[in-house]
Amino acid sequence: MRAMVYRGPYKVRVEEKDIPPIEHPNDAIVKVNLAAICGSDLHLYHGMMPDTRVGMTFGHEFMGVVEQVGPSVQNLTVGDRVMVPFNIFCGTCWYCARGLYSNCHNVNPNASAVGGIYGYSHTCGGYDGGQSEYVRVPFADVGPSLVPEWMEDEDAVLLTDACATGYFGAQLGDIAEGDVVVVFGAGPVGLFAAKSAWLMGAGRVIVIDHLEYRLEKARTFAQAETYNFTEYDDIVVHMKKITDFLGADVAIDAVGAEADGNLTQHVTAAKLKLQGGSPVALNWAIDSVRKGGNISVMGAYGPLFSAVKFGDAMNKGLTLRMNQCPVKRQWPRLFEHVRNGYLKPSDIVTHRIPLEHIAEGYHIFSAKLDECIKPLVVPSAS
């Protein structure tokens, strides 16, 4: 089969690999219809996540058709059209039994601090991902769901991470009616978080970024008020000014490890790898939110320490909530929202990249060329 393969920082290519075998009785093999490149894949691509091995296939957002099932699989059959959450989870450990599917304790021997994620380094379990023609899906009776007949493939693939994560991020903000919500980052997760904040009754939704075309999307897709932080000497002071010096009630970090806005933070994290991530957006969130406010962290950071302003967070009495999104837990409600027309996930797709052109796809997304917001990967176009 053809598969994307990591060759070292900033380098990927397509190689011929063996179709993955069934390795556990509850495995399935899924033929990938559509995959996506996630903003967090860029952290792997840039060599920021520890134990990212040459030869690994990335891709934790994918959907497709069941090609083969293991002997204990009861809930799927060959030919089923399925969407697969980015979390790999067993369904019965202490965490899964409490709905924390992203924290499953039975799928990642490499680390106890994070669950299993497809194609996301050995720190997340060492599983190959879905930017390929076929992928191994462990716990096939637990993770994947049938794609509803009325749902399009492009909507389904975005529900496997970006849309669900944005929706989850808004929930962790514990938004109350009329709250002022500021979202840092107008990438896919930030756009979905902003859109979701309205569903939870926000009174004002503000999105901050430095890419004008993404801010335009935040205005049209998420009906948000937007600010380009490069136009202000100090974006935190501006947030205070526009909230009558109270600050936002809720702030959502939808940027993560490669945040811009402070050159020292960015270079020490993203280029020199001296901290787990550049916490610029998180620090701005801490400083922009009002005292007693809530911070929701959806941006991905590496396991090394980062220079986060915990003193301010403590002194302000903030509540910080964060997690990898337990995707499947979001689906029943998100399916309703998509069906009712409140959310149209595929509206943010800007590029459809044939698998054979994966290197160009990563560069376009990484360098923010061509007004790229969300690139999909199409194996069958190869």
Partner 1 sequence: MTYTYTPAKPPLTESTDQLRARIPGWGVDLDPKDRPSGTKLQYQPDMTGAHWDFPDRQPEKWPRERSIEHKFLTPVFGTACPPRRLSGAIRRYSYKKYSEGRAAHWLLLMAADRVDAWENHVVSFASLHPDNPITETGVLSEFSHHGLSSRLGKKRADLVHQPLDPIIVAGPWVVAAWVGLKALRKVRGKR
Interacting residues with partner 1 between 120 and 149 (CB under 8 A): 122-123, 125-128, 138-139, 141-142
- Which residues are registered as beta bridge partners of 135? 30
Segment contacting partner 1 by CB under 8 A, of 152-160, 173-181, 182-190, 309-317: 173-181
Instruction: Tell me the DSSP string of 336-370.
Output: HHHHTTS--GGGG--EEEEGGGHHHHHHHHHTT-T
Decide whether 11 or 314 has the Cβ nearer to partner 1: 11
Instruction: Check residue 200 for interaction with partner 1 (CB under 8 A).
Output: yes
Q: How many residues bind partner 1 (CB under 8 A)?
A: 117
Answer yes or no whether residue 381 interacts with partner 1 by CB under 8 A.
no
Closest separation in Å from C-beta 23 to partner 1: 5
When the beta carbons of 33 and 296 are compared against partner 1, the nearer one is 296
**Residues of 122-153 as b/e, b for ≥16 C-beta within 10 angstroms?**
bbbbbbbbbbbbbbbbbbbebbbbebeeebeb
In sequence order, what are the beta bridge partners of 63? 34, 83
Give the contacts of 263 (CB within 8 A, at least 6 positions apart). Answer: none
Q: Is residue 86 involved in binding partner 1 (CB under 8 A)? A: no
Q: Does 172 bind partner 1 (CB under 8 A)?
A: yes
| Cβ burial, residue 120 (10 Å; 0-12/13-18/19+) | buried
Q: Which C-beta is closer to partner 1: that of 65 or that of 359?
A: 359
Nearer of residues 64 and 70 to partner 1, judged by Cβ:
70
Least Å distance, CB 108 to partner 1, is 6
Should residue 57 be labelled a site residue for partner 1 when binding is judged by CB under 8 A?
Answer: yes
Out of 84, 251, 343, 376, name the contact with partner 1 by CB under 8 A.
343
Kindly state whether residue 340 participates in binding partner 1, applying the rule CB under 8 A: yes
Decide: is 168 part of the binding site for partner 1 (CB under 8 A). Answer: yes
Nearer to partner 1, 310 or 342 (CB): 342
Short-list 216, 175, 176, CA closest to 193? 175
Give the bridge partners for 321, in sequence order: 296
Answer for which of 361, 373, 376, 379 binds partner 1 (CB under 8 A) is: 361
Q: Name which of 238 and 357 has its Cβ closer to partner 1.
A: 357
CA 340 to chain centre: 23
According to the binding rule CB under 8 A, does residue 356 interact with partner 1?
no
Binding residue (CB under 8 A) for partner 1 from 62, 89, 184, 301: 89
Query: CB 332 → partner 1: shortest distance, Å?
Result: 7
Q: Check: CB of residue 85 under 8 Å from CB of residue 71.
A: no
**Ramachandran quadrant class, 366 (left: phi over 0; alpha: psi -120 to 50; beta: rest):** alpha
Q: How far apart are CA 59 and CA 73, in angstroms?
A: 24
CA–CA dist 382, 378 (Å, integer): 7
Kindly identify the residues of this chain, within the stretch 293-312, that bind partner 1 according to CB under 8 A: 302-305
Subset of 208-267 contacting partner 1 (CB under 8 A): 210-212, 223, 228-231, 243-246, 260-261, 263, 266-267
**Strands 145-146, 134-137: parallel, antiparallel or unpaired by DSSP?**
unpaired
